[in-house]
Amino acid sequence: MADDPKKQARDRKLASTQEHEVAYIVKTAKVTRQKALEAIREAGPSREKVLEYLERK
């Protein structure tokens, strides 16, 4: 995601290890912070793929 969370360009579909991104994934997927970080590393930066990865686990 962009450094400015208000930007809504292409970066809105990407996940990173920035704290607000991890918090979003933790809240959305209802997983721990550690599992969210693992999913980002394994599935890549696409937020959609990260959430799909967590659904399969």
Tell me 10's DSSP state.
Answer: G
Q: How many angstroms separate the CA atoms of 48 and 1, rounded?
A: 13
0.85 exceeded by pTM? no
What average pLDDT does this structure show over 18-30?
Answer: 94
The mean pLDDT of the chain is: 85
Phi, psi of 33 (to 5 degrees): -60, -40
**Where are the domains positioned within the chain?**
10-56
Contact predicate 1/21, CB 8 Å: yes
Least confident range of 6-10, 19-23, 42-46, 52-56:
6-10
Residue-wise pLDDT tens digits, 26-43: 999 999 999 999 999 999
Q: At what angle do helices 47-56 and 33-43 cross, to 10 degrees?
A: 110
Given a cut of 60, whether residue 2 has pLDDT beyond it is no
**The pLDDT value given to residue 1:** 47
